[in-house]
A and B are shown apart, each in its own frame.
Chain A
């Protein structure tokens, strides 16, 4: 069974025996084939190649012989999984996703659970012993099909729980039917993927980036794996290193007897990986091994989504992990010291924003320990803000105009309050969560914001001077001491600084080491706008002040042939200079 391959005119199995050309199978199929070739467990999948898309675009209809190949492909998946598509007591469900050789916007999102209908939902309920799971699998397919294929807003299922009535409402809004026949579901979804290649956004993107319209997209059809079948099943996420701190231990979460969406939805509180080691020890061992293998193969910290079905591990996706600023710095330095990457690569992996974020002002260690905590809520926009609490936007504006630092506290905020938020040092609200107006606008303005502190907060804070910690969601009495971290006093930044000095094409001096004849831009008009810099720095050897230390300023300095600039901190402009040097010439 393992060795069996599928090699049709339009369809190829992704069994890892070979890794076909990316242009033929697209990026997603390529990474599945790549993982299989590393001998990692991935749910069985096949790909409909970009050739089929090209044919579709030429004729406007699906290739004649594609349907027969799709059926052969499904039969192959059935043999791989021991399940049946669209019938039987162990129904096979599949996901369908688009996969162009280059990822681009406007391409169709993933549709899950194809193969579900009234009949297979019953079989799934019987197999899992969980009616709710079967209903949810059914609901999710129709929801995704409505939103993604038919492009209509899908209503909530009513309180009566009537799925049939709900489905009719989606169909009425779209004025189209959602097929019950599993093969029809598949064909329509594949066609929708092909059509998405010519969506407004995809066409626009290709034109903008000079990518040929003829490239076409592939379509990946993959068996669904269920993490909620029994106690030996579950789902989770594993990072090969800690993405928050950068520490070199794997980090993750696991939900026993659950599906991937459950982790993302926040419906359940996930447990640590220790739970997985206890309930599925064999899968756990393979997972840790796989994480290491993938990190070494990709030379990057990996973020791996996985599911365990009846004790068997399946990797769903592995990609470069997103990291907090400190984790980006630590992993770059560590991986370089471990010999996994070069110094040049380490420097490429850290940008000036991340370093500036690590150096941004914060409460002095211990400053909060003895401070009186007046209120706390959800910290939704990072930073520290201190000021006198006012309770209306108008009051904030008039006091701020007279030079007073103010903190705006209101029950909620609305667009009427934006003029007050613009001048405040921080915002506090009584109600609302991370998507509330105060949170959204606070973040847009880079304003420390704490929301949902509870009713009565505004009255209790009015007229007091407070310090707001927008990261941890705390409001303290008085003006607490804020410190500015220093680049030479942090072991990691210090190492990076040493490397950056060696590799930067532009010298960056600290103010105390500045040569005598440095041009001081702070004395000149317009120097705060990087666009004006080329004119201002023409012909000089070194400059300081204005926008010279920003990424754009550094680029301008290099273009103008400056030998050095003066800045504090020095690491962000050094990194910016290194990145300018390695930037591709186009856009």
Chain B
């Protein structure tokens, strides 16, 4: 029961992911995830398209109604909730850093960052590194209560280090597990755990 909830939660976080993607987010063995996916496809809660899985509308509703119970202990835990609020604070900073990655201020006007100035890019990646050090302390506290969240720290650092080594698509490219992609999934994961909606 708990594993099925986790597998469906993993699909919701990835939106459209492979067995391996889902397994890495929820920390269950690939075989276990596969068994549950097969079962969920049979019961009409999950659809498979080209080897990737997504929730059906009925799957989304079932999942949503199961959160309150599954994460009641975290929602009642002031330590977990305080750490979550700190994450939201860093999230505001992250959005600004990603915006500064994509745009530059020129004499008071915003223009796209065409990434021709590697000095500017390095500074933004450096700010991302500063921010990463702050989110690490928050993730440590969240993972102490929900151990599977540890994976995000590893994934974020992996993306950050690739970006630091000069492969700049790892900052915000939407088609790979870039820093921003992983962050977005982490945020989605946390929102679902605490039962909040995303704010623009």
A residues with a Cβ closer than 8 A to B are 105-106, 109, 147-148, 151-156, 173, 201, 204-205, 208, 237, 239, 242-244, 251-253, 270, 322-325, 327, 351, 353-354, 357, 380-382, 412, 414-416, 418-419, 431-437, 439-441, 443-445
B96 at the interface (CB under 8 A from A): yes
Residue of B87, B90, B185 with most partner-chain A CB within 10 A: B90
A444 touching B173 in the complex, CB below 8 Å, given contacts A155-B89, A243-B106, A353-B114: yes
A105:B107 contact, CB within 8 angstroms:
no
Q: How far is the CA of A433 from the CA of B99 in the complex (A)?
A: 10
B107:A242 contact, CB within 8 angstroms:
yes
Q: Which residues of B contact A445 (CB under 8 A)?
A: 174
Contacting residues of chain B (115-138) with chain A, CB-CB under 8 angstroms: 115-117, 120, 122, 125-126, 129-130, 133-135, 137-138
**Interchain residue pairs with CB less than 8 A apart (10):** A106-B129, A153-B87, A153-B89, A153-B90, A201-B126, A324-B111, A380-B103, A416-B15, A440-B99, A443-B103
Q: How far is the CA of A252 from the CA of B184 in the complex (A)?
A: 37
Give the number of residues in B that approach A within 8 Å (Cβ atoms): 48
Separation in Å of the B153 CB from the closest CB of chain A? 13
A109:B90 contact, CB within 8 angstroms:
no
Separation in Å of the B134 CB from the closest CB of chain A? 5
Q: Provide the B81-116 mask, 1 if CB < 8 A to any CB of A, else 0.
A: 000011101100001101100111011111110111
A153 touching B126 in the complex, CB below 8 Å, given contacts A204-B161, A357-B114, A444-B172: no
B188 at the interface (CB under 8 A from A): yes
12 A-B pairs besides A415-B184, A440-B172 with CB distance below 8 A are A153-B134, A154-B89, A156-B89, A173-B86, A204-B164, A205-B164, A244-B107, A324-B106, A353-B116, A381-B102, A432-B200, A444-B172
Residue of A106, A151, A153 with most partner-chain B CB within 10 A: A153
B102:A443 contact, CB within 8 angstroms:
yes
B129:A444 contact, CB within 8 angstroms:
no
Identify which of A151, A152, A156, A443 contacts B112 (C-beta below 8 A).
Answer: A443
A414:B198 contact, CB within 8 angstroms:
yes
A253 touching B89 in the complex, CB below 8 Å, given contacts A201-B129, A201-B164, A325-B114: no
B67 at the interface (CB under 8 A from A): no
Q: How far is the CA of A147 from the CA of B130 in the complex (A)?
A: 9
Separation in Å of the B136 CB from the closest CB of chain A? 8
B165 at the interface (CB under 8 A from A): yes
Separation in Å of the A72 CB from the closest CB of chain B? 32
Q: Provide the B125-163 mask, 1 if CB < 8 A to any CB of A, else 0.
A: 110011001110110000000000000000000000100
Chain A's closest residue to B181 (CB) is: A415
Q: Which residues of A contact B130 (CB under 8 A)?
A: 109, 147-148
Q: How far is the CA of A372 from the CA of B195 in the complex (A)?
A: 43
B15:A415 contact, CB within 8 angstroms:
yes
Q: How far is the CA of A109 from the CA of B134 in the complex (A)?
A: 14
B86:A155 contact, CB within 8 angstroms:
yes
A435 touching B164 in the complex, CB below 8 Å, given contacts A251-B107, A382-B112, A440-B180: no
Nearest 4 A/B pairs, CB to CB:
A105-B126, A443-B102, A435-B95, A432-B200
